[in-house]
């Protein structure tokens, strides 16, 4: 088997395990199954889960509803990582459940910034000029 290059992107197995964990974690958080009232009070979106090539680490990208209390969400999830990991392991029947690292999902902020950039009058003029040049 050929050695996998870092730039090849995640394997099908990494993608499958990451998506399976994302769904299970979303369901656990949505149902308020964690024994932490502070965490259960929040509505959290799990945008993506990326796993390391050896599947030992899962980086979980989350965002609280409305984007409020981002730092608190990360701390609460980290505080409950052991219980979340146990619940995911039980739910999915994984032989080894990866260690979870929680990060803020900043894709929504990036999309907003991109939208603002494209709505800028100068950018609109440049795009129109490019369209005319191509015709």
pLDDT in single tens digits along all 135 residues of the chain: 455 555 578 899 999 999 999 999 999 999 999 999 999 999 999 999 999 999 999 999 999 987 778 889 999 999 999 999 999 999 888 778 999 999 998 765 555 555 666 666 776 676 677 666 666
Domain range annotation of the chain: 6-104, 106-135
Cα–chain center distance at 56: 17
> Rounded to two decimals, what is the model's pTM?
0.73
Contact between residue 21 and residue 87 where contact means Cβ atoms under 8 Å apart = no
Query: Is the Cα torsion angle 89, 93, 97, 100 positive or negative in sign?
Result: negative
Among 3.40.50.970, 3.30.70.380, 3.30.300.20, 3.20.20.60, what is the CATH number of 6-104? 3.30.300.20
């Amino acid at each position: 088997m050929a050695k996998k290059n870092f730039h090849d992107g995640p394997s099908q197995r990494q993608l499958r395990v990451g998506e399976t964990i994302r769904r299970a974690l979303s369901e656990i958080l949505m149902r308020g199954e964690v024994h932490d009232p502070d965490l259960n009070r929040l509505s959290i979106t799990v945008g993506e889960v990326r796993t390391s090539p050896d599947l030992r680490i899962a980086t979980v990208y989350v965002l609280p509803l409305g984007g409020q209390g981002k730092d608190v969400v990360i701390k609460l999830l980290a505080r409950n990582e052991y219980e979340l990991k146990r619940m995911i392991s039980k739910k999915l029947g994984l032989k080894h459940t990866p260690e979870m690292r929680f990060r803020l999902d900043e894709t929504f902020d990036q999309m907003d910034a991109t939208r603002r950039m494209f709505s800028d009058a100068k950018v609109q003029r440049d795009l129109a000029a490019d369209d005319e040049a191509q015709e």
